[in-house]
Amino acid sequence: MYPGVRATARKYPVTSSLAGVGEGFKYIISLKRPGLKD
């Protein structure tokens, strides 16, 4: 979704996992409340 995230994720696994959880959380919210989609 964001350019360069995967490359950064290789250097910072913890950050990549947090980002993945954040994206998943926003995705779930978007399913429950479509009006909040970016």
DSSP string for 4-26? THHHHHHH-HHHHHHHHHHHHHH
For the entire predicted model, the pTM comes to: 0.36
Q: Which band of pLDDT confidence, cut at 50, 70 and 90, is reported for residue 5?
A: low
Whole-number Å distance between alpha carbons of 18 and 13: 9
- Conformational region of residue 2, where left means phi above 0, alpha means psi within -120 to 50, and beta covers everything else: beta
Of the candidates 1, 31, 37, 30, the residue with the CA atom closest to the CA atom of residue 16: 1
The length of the chain is 38
Whether residue 25 has pLDDT greater than 80: yes
Q: Which band of pLDDT confidence, cut at 50, 70 and 90, is reported for residue 6?
A: low
